Amino acid sequence: MISKKAVGLLTTALVAQICAASTSQPRGDDATCKKTTVAILGGGMAGIAAAQALSNSSMNDFIIIEYRDALGGRVIHTDFGKDPKGKPYTVELGANWVQGLGSPGGPENPIWTFAKKWGVKNTYSNYSSILTYNETGFTDYSSLLDEYETLYEDAASAAGTLLAENGQDQTARTGLALAGWRPKVDDMARQAVEWWEWDWEDSYSPDESSFIFGVAGSNLTFNQFSDENNFVWDQRGYSRIITQEASTFLQPHDPRVQLNSIITNVTYSTDGVTVHKQDGSCVSAAYAICTFSLGVLQNHAVSFTPALPAWKQTAIQKFTMGTYTKIFLQFNETFWPRDTQYFLYADPIRRGYYPVWQSLSAPDFLPDSNILFVTVVAQESYRVERQSDEVTQREVMAVLRNMYPDLTIPDPIAFMYPRWSTTPWSFGSYSNWPASTTLEMHENLRANVDRLWFAGEATSAQYFGFLHGAWFEGRDAGERIAGMLGKECVIPGECHERKYWERLRGSSPLADYSVLDGWGVSSFYSSY
């Protein structure tokens, strides 16, 4: 016989189970959800590229669900400071460059194609237009930039040999050291140069980055397209390339675009996908393309029902999401050299402490704007993004006053920076490829799970971390799904599900890297 106490305990346990089930299960009945064929989760570059690919295949039954109040994703701008007439300037919080433009007779970066198509204003980033500083002021260690670049070419060539001989990866630190670049811990000039050459691009140090894929990723963009980078300063915002391209297949206030929509749960199966939103509404689709950032996936900002399989969760947690924080200052005057684009600071104690400064007052940018900004990444980003603006401004101004000890520098009239690492729809800026992470692992990051597909810059093995990587991946997912829906397959033989590895084979054998030859990596390595 069960006692009343036991019955009470059982009842309490049962109620707890029911409550837990009710909170963990997605809300909404599929029968009441808005129906569509393809749900696109996120309205950034990958989401718009996917929708455009579907539209180009005459598959127009899709819905784009976007967290923010506008399309663009991590290509986002904001007002900052004021011009002489009192109108605010526009500065980019996220993506800011077109990286690798294109060369005559060769392939052209699609982002560069869009920038020209929509008249987005930009200027060539002249990385030779740089002055170097330390805590005593101007100190010329620019010769170290040439030293690094010479040794990096040797390292890149060695990466090709490493790939050809045994396919084993290692850290970029190892590859650089073997080529002769070995900055001592207290050699802060070399540490600053290394930050400028590596961390500033990858958002992680060489110690935390893949050698083979770090070099390959650089080659695939800057050798395939070109070694030019153009900085976008258009006062309409860099996101113009996304919104204008979207306008070619979307109508104004198109009902297929759901803005201000926070997704809380994605329920998927072999039969379809149901997307549940914070407001209690839902979308039921035959397929879904998830373009969430790697940071969102890693932070479990959205739940999945059932839980993503172990191979998928492992791949998500294996890769790294970097943070790239631009800190903007506007002054009453431009007290720094007007004709110089970049200023590199070597702190006497801390590597990566407010190292790279950029002038928007330079010619062909925003002359006389008196705007300067400094970039930090990784641990310094996490630190400054968790402290107040006032504390960060004091630190930044102390560095500036070290750089120009003979000047009396007033406090800025405007100061601002984003906090990407805590932004709930991104949790970071862009992805990086960690050392000894294989192509198999990346294929698992990219692979679909039943009817749920994934796309974004992080899922691009060739162009991870780049805006054009997001475009290529979104287009690929859209084209594959269109083909699976019976539309004409744009690339014959490619309209099928993506491969995944339930059991990884450890460090990748050479055969796993055969796909790299398809990207033309071998020819890029041989060019060194």
H/E segment holding residue 358: strand 356-359
Q: What is the pLDDT of residues 212-242, one digit of tens each?
A: 899 988 888 998 899 999 999 999 999 999 9
CA distance 514 to 238: 36
Segments of the chain with pLDDT less than 50 = 1-27, 508-515, 517-528
Class of residue 154 by CB neighbours under 10 A (exposed 0-12, middle 13-18, buried 19+): middle
Domains and CATH numbers, the chain: 34-74+237-321+428-503 (3.50.50.60), 126-227+324-422 (3.90.660.10)
Strand 77-80 with 89-92, pairing: antiparallel
Question: Is 58 in contact with 302 (CB distance < 8 Å)?
Answer: no
For position 257, what pLDDT does the model report?
98
Beta strands (DSSP E) in 1-88 are: 34-41, 62-65, 77-80
Residue 436: its pLDDT value, please?
Answer: 83
At residue 352, what are phi and psi to the nearest 5 degrees? 75, 20
Reported as a single tens digit per residue, the pLDDT across 243-285 is 999 999 999 999 999 999 999 999 999 999 999 999 999 999 9
At residue 431, the pLDDT reads: 97
* Residue 33, Cβ density class (10 Å: 0-12 exposed, 13-18 middle, ≥19 buried): middle
Determine the pLDDT at residue 491.
66
In the prediction, which pLDDT does 167 show? 63
CA–CA separation, 434 and 465 (whole Å): 12
Q: If you compute the radius of gyration of the chain from its CA atoms, what whole number of angstroms results? A: 25
Q: Residue 163: what pLDDT? A: 63
Q: Identify the pLDDT of residue 5.
A: 33
Report which residue type is found at 121: K
The C-alpha atoms of residue 309 and residue 448 are separated, in whole angstroms, by 11
C-alpha to C-alpha distance for 235 and 121, rounded to whole angstroms:
8
Q: What pLDDT is attached to residue 490?
A: 66
Note if the bond before 434 is cis, omega within 30 degrees: no
Element spanning 46, H or E: helix 45-56
Q: Helix, strand, or coil here: 283?
A: strand
